Structure 1
Amino acid sequence: MRYIVIGSGVAGVAAIEAIRSNGKAGEIVMVGDDPHGFYSRPGLAYFLTGELHDKALFPRTREDYARLNFKFQKGRVTKLLPTEKAIALDGKTYLSYDKLLIAVGAQATPLAVPGANLEGVVKLDHLEDARRILKFARRGKTAVVVGGGITALELAEGLLSRGVKVHYLLRGDRYWSNVLDEYESRIIERRLQEEGVTLHFHTELAEITGKSRVNGLRLKDGRTMRCDILAYAIGIKPRAELARDAGLSVDRGILTNEYLQTNDENIFAAGDVAQVFDPATGRSVIDSLWHLARDQGHTAGLNMTGERQTYVRNTPFNVTRLAGLTTTIIGSVGQGHDEDIVGIARGDSETFRQLPDAIVAQSGFDVNRVRLMVGEKTLLGAVVMGDQTISTPLQRIVRDGMDITSMRDKLLARDAKIADVVVDFWSKYKAN
């Protein structure tokens, strides 16, 4: 058997680990156009701020790779040939396969404004992007950041930490409004302003100016700004062109069944490029989280060896840092309109800090906040900002769909100490 994995991210590596864990012999070839192979893409934010050296981004050793016994082939796949069961590499080399995994991830949605190709316009897809940003930051004085999510914030804080003056453009009236509530957005905005970031609300980019290099921009309301760097993070787009051109079923991402298998039985997809069928909801879903990409890659690898293992979508769980504030986002936390969902939020409590067997990423925050999305019988999601003591229990409660009937009324009571109620519920659960 020859297994080919296109893509060197976490989904591809997890697939190779799964193939080998199954005791399967055969040749494995990983093909990737990133010269650095596998590294921690979430770690790029900390590389930008100087908290991590680039060597720390690489979690595996040569010995780890040797044990997996695969070949890394650097190059760009230019065509899939499903009928011939082959791929074209750089338009000239052809590799045949028995089973193929497409795990090429997603890329930053490009800016569709004049001047977007000027030198000094940067994104954060991979390590070379991060190095380019640092190169520009060494000689740049002013940067403008465009975008509304986590990556835009990482760009702003990375540039700020390098001594660059940062202006942050927001289309709406607050930060990340589709995930955070207004109170949470204002917390992040205040912290950014205290760090020295200048926020511009209701502001949209119309044009980037300069001859060969960025020297400024024009806004949709006609105002102009000077800058040396324009950093953007306005969303991501699955790299599904190869699959589409090969006749595979593609919606927003490559469509797969619950076994990570495409409409071609010999081709699988996993990670940010895959739109995976979720039997629990009956929908095909794209997830852009590291741990879910790893889970998908592992399941795909097992199924490539002939197993028939269903991918079970775990509750989305993301620990990030927003304006220096550790924030955990679990499950569904957006502004849902279902009548059986009640959103509640409370601040700190003493018990919050004392729960044993929990992961505390940082402590000593001036902000500690919990927001829960409470369903009729289960918790649907949670946001924990600051002290993370309670985040691990909440993850389990949401992930396992635990029946919260016994504490629901207590959670919804006026002036309830949410953390204390959750801690009491969790302690009783562990005791049983």
Structure 2
Amino acid sequence: MKYVVIGNSVAACGCIEAIRKVDTQNPIVVISDEKYRVYSRPLISYYLGGKVDESKMYIRDEDYYEKNKVEAKLGKKVVAVDFANKEVLLDDGEKVKYDKLLIATGGKPFIPPTKGFELRNVFTFIKFDDVKAIDEAIKNGAKKAVVVGAGLSGLKAAEALIKRNVDVTVVELANRILGSILDLEASKIVQSELEKHGIVFKLETSVDEITGDGKVEKVKLKNGEVLDADIVVFAIGVVPNVDFLKGTELKINRGIVVNNKMETNIKDVYAAGDCAEGYDFVFEQQRVIPIWPNAYNQGETAGYNMAGVEKTFDRGFPMNSIGFFDVHMITAGIVVPNSDDIEVLVKHDKEKNTYRKIYLKNGRVVGFMFINSIDRAGMITNMIKEGFNVESIKHRLLDEDFGYLDLPKEVRQEKILGGAKA
């Protein structure tokens, strides 16, 4: 038996660690186009902002591969998979045989066709090498940056650049920042905080052209404005990194379609993480859920099944916990309702600059957004996972002193005493 994993991020870790709990001997090969051992992608903005050094970027020890008997082919790019012959083809011509294969290639930056994208100092913001290149540009005197995209990635890039004393303008096509996870009111709270720190926003427009003599000098927007720039960072979002698999028999919608065992439509082939399209139990449909814990859980599930132990994972749903300067937020599940059967609970304390919103469907919590008041977020998240009916206590959910005492007695016994009688 030979296990092969394409990709080397947290989904790969989940897979390796699950396999080794079951099978301590058979070889595992990990292939990645990046030269680094597994590191935390969410930390790249903190590296750029000077909050962590390179040693803190890695999420597993240097001897991780050796300890787990993993052959790591790092800095090698997979260009194709021959599913019929169970072979992975690398860019240097090498062919790697597999018995069980996990595809965990993550996401790649979405880049709209943009004139001038080829100029120097135009970057994306997803990999360690991206921020190292931006860091080098700052050290070489870059003082003005344009960040394209006001999602989580774009705003973390903007925050890091501001901390490096770079002037930052964020360009966003939508009418608000963080539009995929915040409503208009919540978005204004976060935008106001970012503006206090000097970030300038240009909303409802996009980049028309980047100009300069060999490297970035100006950015022309669709609304006619022209911005001075030494750096342009594209952080519009990510799409599943599956181009090298298109045209094969592998079933791909937006991502690689998997069942709750992380199996694809091809025998012995699994997928996990940001390249996979698994079941979102809150939305009740197949979706790509590009978040860190989901990737690990999917990778772990795949690893167990690859090693012959049947496991399922069907509790995936989107969740984000993030902060910008002095604003902290947690969002989960459905936060931008698209149906009339969602009940909304909201509490906005302008004096404290806090905002709490919970979404209910059929008496159950299906989503929430908490800003600057994140107490009980774990408890509310568990209610989503467990499908707990809150109809009798929904009037208390947003109160600051809401807690386990508000739950029915039998539920408290189950939660606190594990079902034992008090």
For normalisation by structure 2, the TM-score amounts to 0.92
The Cα shift of 1:422 comes to: 5.3
Which of residues 384, 396, 406 in structure 2 aligns to 1:425?
Answer: 406
| Distance across 2 between alignment mates of 1:217 and 1:126 | 24
Structure 1 equivalent of residue 187 of structure 2: 185
| Distance across 2 between alignment mates of 1:430 and 1:64 | 41
Which of residues 249, 252, 259 in structure 2 aligns to 1:250?
Answer: 252
Residues 141-160 of structure 1: matches in 2 within 5 Å?
141-160=143-162
The Cα shift of 1:29 comes to: 0.6
The Cα shift of 1:249 comes to: 1.2
Residues 197-212 of structure 1: matches in 2 within 5 Å?
197-212=199-214
| Alignment check: 8 A CA contact 2:256 2:275 kept | yes
| Alignment check: 8 A CA contact 1:178 1:335 kept | no
The Cα shift of 1:161 comes to: 0.6
Per-residue CA distance 1:327-354 (angstroms, 9 max, x = gap):
1112111133232x122221469xxxxx
Structure 2 equivalent of residue 40 of structure 1: 40
Counting aligned pairs with the same residue, the percent is 28
Pair 1:392 & 2:392 matched? no
Residues 91-130 of structure 1: matches in 2 within 5 Å?
91-130=92-131
| Distance across 1 between alignment mates of 2:94 and 2:20 | 26
Deviation larger for 310-319 or 126-135: 310-319
Pair 1:89 & 2:90 matched? yes
| Distance across 2 between alignment mates of 1:278 and 1:177 | 20
| Alignment check: 8 A CA contact 1:24 1:305 kept | no
- 1:306/1:135 Cα in 2 relative to 1: closer, same or farther (>3 Å)? same
Per-residue CA distance 1:345-371 (angstroms, 9 max, x = gap):
21469xxxxxxxxxxxxxxx9533211
| Distance across 1 between alignment mates of 2:281 and 2:188 | 37
Residues 4-23 of structure 1: matches in 2 within 5 Å?
4-23=4-23
One-letter amino acid of the counterpart of residue 90, structure 2: L
| Distance across 2 between alignment mates of 1:183 and 1:277 | 30
| Distance across 2 between alignment mates of 1:398 and 1:257 | 21
**Secondary structure at the counterpart of residue 327 of structure 1:** strand
Which of residues 221, 224, 232 in structure 1 aligns to 2:223?
Answer: 221
For normalisation by structure 1, the TM-score amounts to 0.89
Which of residues 166, 169, 172 in structure 2 aligns to 1:167?
Answer: 169
| Alignment check: 8 A CA contact 2:280 2:317 kept | no
One-letter amino acid of the counterpart of residue 406, structure 2: F
Deviation larger for 152-161 or 131-140: 131-140
| Distance across 2 between alignment mates of 1:153 and 1:47 | 15
Question: Any unmatched runs of 5+ in structure 1?
Answer: 350-364, 412-416
| Distance across 1 between alignment mates of 2:22 and 2:144 | 53
| Distance across 1 between alignment mates of 2:284 and 2:352 | 42
Question: Any unmatched runs of 5+ in structure 2?
Answer: 415-422
Deviation larger for 11-20 or 89-98: 89-98
| Distance across 2 between alignment mates of 1:237 and 1:79 | 18
Pair 1:368 & 2:354 matched? yes
The Cα shift of 1:243 comes to: 2.1
The Cα shift of 1:65 comes to: 3.4
| Alignment check: 8 A CA contact 2:290 2:318 kept | no
The Cα shift of 1:296 comes to: 0.3
Structure 1 equivalent of residue 71 of structure 2: 71
Structure 2 equivalent of residue 354 of structure 1: none
Which of residues 363, 370, 391 in structure 2 aligns to 1:377?
Answer: 363
| Alignment check: 8 A CA contact 1:257 1:276 kept | yes
| Distance across 2 between alignment mates of 1:279 and 1:388 | 23
| Alignment check: 8 A CA contact 2:404 2:412 kept | no
Structure 1 equivalent of residue 337 of structure 2: 335
One-letter amino acid of the counterpart of residue 47, structure 1: Y
The Cα shift of 1:282 comes to: 6.1
Deviation larger for 95-104 or 393-402: 393-402
| Distance across 1 between alignment mates of 2:98 and 2:105 | 17
- 1:290/1:190 Cα in 2 relative to 1: closer, same or farther (>3 Å)? same
One-letter amino acid of the counterpart of residue 132, structure 2: R
| Distance across 2 between alignment mates of 1:242 and 1:309 | 28
The Cα shift of 1:289 comes to: 0.3
The Cα shift of 1:118 comes to: 0.9
| Distance across 2 between alignment mates of 1:308 and 1:131 | 41
| Alignment check: 8 A CA contact 1:79 1:91 kept | no
| Alignment check: 8 A CA contact 2:289 2:317 kept | no
Structure 2 equivalent of residue 353 of structure 1: none
| Distance across 2 between alignment mates of 1:368 and 1:337 | 26
State the aligned residue count: 411
Structure 2 equivalent of residue 404 of structure 1: 390
The Cα shift of 1:409 comes to: 4.5
> Cα RMSD between the aligned structures?
2.2
| Distance across 1 between alignment mates of 2:391 and 2:228 | 56
| Alignment check: 8 A CA contact 2:282 2:366 kept | no
- 1:427/1:128 Cα in 2 relative to 1: closer, same or farther (>3 Å)? farther
Structure 2 equivalent of residue 361 of structure 1: none
Structure 2 equivalent of residue 80 of structure 1: 81
One-letter amino acid of the counterpart of residue 364, structure 2: T
| Distance across 2 between alignment mates of 1:159 and 1:302 | 41
- 1:331/1:423 Cα in 2 relative to 1: closer, same or farther (>3 Å)? same
Per-residue CA distance 1:197-247 (angstroms, 9 max, x = gap):
112222221000112100001111222121111112112111112222433
Per-residue CA distance 1:365-386 (angstroms, 9 max, x = gap):
9533211112231111111112
Structure 2 equivalent of residue 262 of structure 1: 264
One-letter amino acid of the counterpart of residue 234, structure 2: Y
